[in-house]
Amino acid sequence: MQGRPSATGTSALSCGARRSILFAFALLAAFPAHAATRPAAPLILEPQRDNQYVNGADVHMVTALMADADGDEHLCTDWQITLIGHEVWQAPCATGPSRVHIHLGDGLFTGDLDGARELQSGRVYKLRVRHRDDSGDAATEWSEWSERVFATTFPSPTLPMNVSDVLPAPAPVWTIEPQNGASLWIELADGQRMMELLSSGLLDEEPAGARGAIRVGMRSGDEAWDVPASELSFSDEDIASKTIYLPAVSLAPRSSVLYWVSANGSTHPAREEDRAPSFEATVRPSPIPWHALERGFVIERVASGFRLPVNIAFVADPKDDPDSAFFYVAELYGDVKVVTRSGEVRDFVSNLLDFDPGGNIPGDGETGLAGITVDSVSGDVFVTYVSGANRVNGERIANIARLAASQDGLRMTAIEPVLVLADAKQSASHQISNITIGPDRKLYVHVGDGLWDPSARDLSLFRGKILRMDMDGTASPDNPYYDATDGITARDYIFASGFRNPFGGAWRAAVQALYEIENGPQTDRLARVVRGLDYGWDGTDQSMRNYSICGWSAPAAPVQIAWVQQETFGGSGFPERKFDTAYVTESGPTWGSARQAVGKRISEVVLDGDELVRGPVPFVEYDGTGKATAVALAAGPDGLYFSDLYKDFDFQSPVDRGANVYRVRWAGYAEFGARTFTPDGLGVRFTNGSDVPDATTWRWDFGDGQSSSERNAAHHYAEEGSYIVRLTANGTVTTAKRVVVHKSGTLMNGRFTP
């Protein structure tokens, strides 16, 4: 007979049946069918392999997503770095994106490296990492440790200024006058002097037998001497102009000081007993620690005083008035600066962020305001940034805004939200970034994957995409996935998908297409952005090779791209042979010091259609000993403009104000050849081979007191001898060569021409 339903909704059972069920439950509790298990040991993705070399200032540590057979969620991750068995860095129970991707700045240096900001160079370290699930079961919540051994690289050596002779003519120039009895001199490491500048004049020494690293010294006379910061300029044995940047110094009576000189003229402490240069400390850096690798290009500082300048956008039609708006600079921590034609830096708008972005660099401090572009019609400025004062797990929300500009472009008059990407949670660096206006007058917006690989190919999410929209933030109906029947979602905005961190982008006029620059774990890419294409980022370096026109197999960290082209300010003053050429800033290791094997440069890329012809080839390189690197990049009316991101020296932290914007300008070069044309060998014909834009005037100095203003000149010397011949174009661009005139022919810079 069936019993009545009980109050609990179960059938009535006999006492014996109940005892049997209770016993069965007890057995299940004691021996569950699926015992609780630990998460799997993490799969370490970066460093990618044992004994890999990485930069000690910027170690990226990445694991695959946590695998847990119980289906538990990933609560946090323990990260450790050890040196010879002793912990030197840790990030215990890291949450948010740092569970699978972390930087040195997101942890704490301990033990022997307590208080440090980077790992020591040339050492072998071990990374240890374990995942923790949210089960709360102390016995099974932690995975086993995974380990990877890696080594830190040595920085690229700072090169010395090598000289074998200081020419007496033109005479060396020191920007101060030595007091009575004081002197300044240049010497080799063994103490052999090449020149000495006394209060009574120049004392020229014999040239050295071979080139060597030089030191510069100063000695006081019978009185104490307070020497202000100064510069010493001279010509070396190659007739090349050199400048040494001397610091301010106070000298007691009859005392001296010595400095090593690096290739760019920076000065570094030296001792008399030293026989090899040391550049670890810098007493006065070169004011422009960058050099162009192709002759005819010069680098000039345009504006200073920036804080983390990450992007530059030019006014569409800049005026010549010194006080007129020229270009805008996006600073990562929420300010936009406007720079006038005269180089004055003014506030366009401040404090756009609704949170304090201050954090560790490298690490969670790499977030904020990133993209900027100017509407050529209205003059308004569009920006991209992250917001969300109440962030969760280190993630913030992506935003696009329009900053209405005053008629003169010098200040913001209103801020108009364009679009808030509510589900586009963003994390350090991998955030919303580049914004441009296409030829179709649509906004194209780059959004990073937020350090969550699977989001890049998920068409229901904004992250890891390039978006396309109308100027008011409306999804464009002709987008590849647009479908208004189910409401407007992320899918309707997507133009292309499958990106990791597409920080840079620019339009190439020759093909009317957008090109993007993207950072990968170890492989970076430059790619043309094609409508509806999935670029396939899936967490692997192999996927970063998809559709890549130009790649970097070592992580150079390319940040921004700019095209020099006729359609953009007439080619930016570059020679026509450079038109339709891409330039890319490579930032290299974050907060890395001095020269680096990769990064801290601008590279050149030449394409034929989308076929790579040449590149990336270094075009501009950093040659200092500080922290500056290359980040922002834009083609302007008179050159290629770039930022150096960090204050180079005398900083307290990476976020100190004091970074610069520089211009790479084509100045051209003077060049000539020489050949004897008379039987006595004393008549020399000089052929002008210069390439100087709009050159109309020429001046030849033949080295014997005679000159000429002809484009191509001929000169008859009175006697055989060695002469320094100079050619100057337009009064600004000069070259000099040593010409030996002899009855059997002419020797120019060591090359004989009969």
Q: Write out pLDDT tens, residues 613-627.
A: 999 999 999 999 999
Residue 195 has pLDDT above 50, yes or no: yes
- Interatomic CA distance for residues 324 and 340, integer angstroms: 5
Cβ atoms 669, 621 nearer than 8 A: no
- Interatomic CA distance for residues 463 and 446, integer angstroms: 9
What is the pLDDT at residue 392? 57
Residue 296 has pLDDT above 50, yes or no: yes
**Angstrom distances, CA of residue 492 to CA of 422, 445, 577:** 14, 14, 41
- Interatomic CA distance for residues 297 and 61, integer angstroms: 39
What is the pLDDT at residue 223? 92
Give the strand order in the sheet containing 698-701: 707-708, 698-701, 721-729, 733-742, 745-748, 751-753
How many of the other CB atoms lie within 10 Å of CB of 117?
A: 17
- Interatomic CA distance for residues 497 and 495, integer angstroms: 7
Residue 34 has pLDDT above 60, yes or no: no
How many of the other CB atoms lie within 10 Å of CB of 598?
A: 20
Tokens 């969620």, residue? 73
Across 27-36, 59-68, 537-546, 593-602, least confident range: 27-36
- Taking residues 169-176, what's their average pLDDT? 90
The total number of residues written for the chain in this structure: 754
List, for residues 585-606, the tens digit of each pLDDT value. Answer: 999 999 999 999 899 999 999 9
C-alpha dihedral, 521 to 457 to 606 to 619, nearest 10°: -30
List, for residues 335-386, the tens digit of each pLDDT value. Answer: 999 999 999 999 999 999 998 888 788 888 899 999 999 999 999 999 999 9
How does strand 504-508 pair with strand 494-497?
unpaired
- Interatomic CA distance for residues 748 and 734, integer angstroms: 17
- Interatomic CA distance for residues 334 and 303, integer angstroms: 19
Cβ atoms 581, 605 nearer than 8 A: yes
How does strand 432-437 pair with strand 412-426?
unpaired
Residue 203 has pLDDT above 90, yes or no: no
Cα atoms in the 13 Å half-sphere on the side-chain side of 593: 19
Minimal CA–CA distance to 616: which of 572, 574, 577, 586? 586
List, for residues 642-656, the tens digit of each pLDDT value. Answer: 999 999 999 999 999
Tokens of residue 97, six digits: 């994106």
- Interatomic CA distance for residues 99 and 377, integer angstroms: 45
- Interatomic CA distance for residues 371 and 739, integer angstroms: 53
Looking at the chain, the whole-number percentage of residues with pLDDT higher than 90 is 76
- Interatomic CA distance for residues 32 and 25, integer angstroms: 10
Helix (H) or strand (E) holding 635: strand 633-636
Cβ atoms 229, 316 nearer than 8 A: no
C-alpha dihedral, 525 to 529 to 531 to 533, nearest 10°: -10
List, for residues 676-715, the tens digit of each pLDDT value. Answer: 888 888 999 999 999 999 999 999 999 999 999 999 999 9
What is the pLDDT at residue 747? 57
How many of the other CB atoms lie within 10 Å of CB of 137?
A: 14
With vertex at residue 337, the alpha carbon angle to CA 336 and CA 339, rounded to the nearest 5 degrees, is 150
3-state secondary structure 212-273: EEEEEEEECCCCCEEECCEEEEEEECCCCEEEEEECCEEECCCCEEEEEEECCCCEEEECCC
Of 576 and 34, the structure prediction assigns the larger pLDDT to 576
**Dihedral-angle region of residue 379 (phi above 0 means left; psi in -120 to 50 means alpha; beta otherwise):** left
- Taking residues 119-141, what's their average pLDDT? 95
pLDDT band at residue 752, thresholds of 50, 70 and 90? very low
Residue 10 has pLDDT above 50, yes or no: no
Minimal CA–CA distance to 359: which of 461, 427, 285? 427
Residue 30 neighbours by CB under 8 Å, 6+ apart: none
Cα atoms in the 13 Å half-sphere on the side-chain side of 255: 11
List, for residues 386-437, the tens digit of each pLDDT value. Answer: 998 656 566 789 999 999 999 999 999 999 999 999 878 888 889 999 999 9
Helix (H) or strand (E) holding 53: strand 52-54
Residue 439 has pLDDT above 50, yes or no: yes
